[in-house]
Amino acid sequence: KPGQILIMEEKRFFYVAFLSTPYKMGEFIRKMTGFPYNHTAISLSPKMKYLYSFSRHYKNAPFYGGFTKESVLRYRKKDNFARIKICAVPVSEENYQKAKKRLEFFANHSEEHIYNMISAACFPFRKSVRIKKSFTCAEFVLSMLKKYADIPVLKEKDFCSIKELSAVLDIYKIY
Instruction: Tell me the pLDDT tens digit for each residue of 102-130.
Output: 999 999 999 999 999 999 888 888 888 99
Instruction: Tell me the pLDDT tens digit for each residue of 22-74.
Output: 788 888 888 888 999 999 999 999 999 999 999 988 877 777 899 999 987 77
In DSSP terms, 69 is beta-bridged to: 52
Is the pTM for the entire model greater than 0.75?
yes
Q: Where are the alpha helices (DSSP H) in the chain?
A: 24-33, 93-108, 117-121, 137-148, 152-155, 162-169
